[in-house]
Amino acid sequence: MPGSLQFPPSTRPSHRRALRAAAAAALVSVLAAGCGGGTDPAGEDGKPAAAPAAGFPLTVDNCGTRTTYDRPPARAVTIHQHPAELMLALGLKDRMVGTAFPDSPVLPQYEQDFKAVKQLAPKEPSFEAVVNAEPDFVYGGYGSAFAEKEGRSRKAFADAGIDTYLNREYCGKKQVSMEDAYEEIRTIGGIFGVRDRADALVADLRARVEKTGKAVEGAPAVPVFVYDSGDKSAFTAGGKSLGTEIIRLAGGRNIFSDLDEVFGDVSWEQVVERRPEVIAIYDYADAGSVQQKKDFLLSQPALADVPAIRNKRFVVVPLTATLVGVRPPHAVEDLARGLHPERFR
């Protein structure tokens, strides 16, 4: 079919596979901290060892992996873009020795710092490529960052003396929220010993969301259809996705919020019946360009009478903006401007 965006099973977007795999994982995402006490132990040279940094030792339970940090990591590698942006937002560029898999343009305020960090691979790097960067900490964004079949399991890194952390969205939690984004920031801030920066960043992001909420207060909720991908059916964001909360906070209503999944397939007949007024196109690598997606939607006769299609009302949402990290609060404002432009003139 011309303009088709159907994906063969072997080439479906990686985030779709990761989301389905994550649904079966165990939910463990609790941060616990403890402080050492007593006299500092003597070092190998007989001299007293340095006192631990404030807030350390720190124990973190993350997706079933328990790690105790005696000091903040000094050489971090991020796999996937949203962990990199979170670290840059916390002012941790100097502790980053590598990153990998950028899948959308970086937020403008972090672009210069992002370019200064060595890119280890355009996609997920090999275990060897990560180890060669000599990190003491690896922060993965999707579950695939630590794919055992690719030799990048968390155990493999632990055996190499490297600590790991996986974004809490992939700990098997069946629903994530904006609060998870804030807690992720605080957790990483704690691990790196910059709790004050994390608290300040969370306060700033909360204020951003609240300001947008006031701007769209009282406006009718705009029916929104999220188009991720698909041809024979539409792959869309369900009620358990962070995207649905972003839409709500922006003054919209996800027409498939009743879909009891993070992502799922729906029929085009359902899309027609629910008459969205705006289509939010998720933009990310390996899923066709935004223009291809628009052309496909506009070319379907069955969709011609859908208000969003008839009026060509599209908003583009980078997939990274819907993932746990620093982007979701920014996405609320950007989406609100597309749903309620009259409130931002």
Instruction: Name which residue leads in pLDDT, 46 or 25.
Output: 46
Averaged confidence pLDDT in the chain: 88
Q: Is pLDDT above 80 for 12? A: no
pLDDT of residue 50: 55
**Cβ-contact 325, 180 below 8 angstroms:** no
User: Is 285 exposed, middle or buried (CB count within 10 Å of its CB: 0-12, 13-18, 19+)?
Assistant: middle
CATH 3.40.50.2300 fits 21-36+52-206, yes or no: no
The reported pLDDT for the residue numbered 339 is: 98
User: Which of these, 189, 238, 223, 234, lies nearest to 315 by C-alpha position?
Assistant: 223
Tell me the per-residue pLDDT of 86-101, one tens digit each, with 9 for 90 and over: 999 999 999 999 999 9
Does domain 219-344 fall under CATH 3.30.460.80? My reply is: no
Q: Which of 170-174, 215-219, 241-245, 263-267 has the lowest mean pLDDT?
A: 170-174
Q: Is the pLDDT of residue 221 over 60?
A: yes
pTM for the model stands at 0.84
Task: Quickly state the pLDDT bin for 2 (edges 50, 70, 90).
Answer: very low
Please state which of the ranges 2-11, 200-209, 319-328 shows the lowest mean pLDDT. Answer: 2-11
21-36+52-206 matches 219-344 in fold: yes
Q: Does residue 309 have a pLDDT over 90?
A: yes
Residue 28 pLDDT exceeds 80: no
Q: How far apart are CA 256 and CA 268, in angstroms?
A: 12
pLDDT of residue 287: 76
**Who has greater pLDDT, 173 or 79?**
79
> Confidence class of residue 286 from pLDDT cuts 50, 70 and 90?
confident
Mean pLDDT to the nearest integer, 254-283: 97
Q: Which value, to the nearest 10 degrees, does the dihedral of the CA atoms of residues 100, 104, 110, 116 take?
A: 40
- Letter for the amino acid at 60? V
Predicted pLDDT of residue 48: 52
pLDDT in tens, 152-208: 999 999 999 999 999 999 998 778 999 999 999 999 999 999 999 999 999 999 999
Distance from C-alpha of 163 to C-alpha of 78, rounded to nearest angstrom: 12
pLDDT value of residue 288: 86
Residue scoring higher pLDDT (1 or 176): 176
- Mean pLDDT over 134-147 rounds to 97
Domain locations along the chain: 21-36+52-206, 219-344
- Give the contacts of 231 (CB within 8 A, at least 6 positions apart): 1, 4, 5, 6, 296
Contact 268, 232 (CB under 8 A): no
What confidence score (pLDDT) does residue 241 get? 93
The shares of helix, strand and coil residues in the chain, as percent rounded to the nearest 5, are: 40, 20, 40
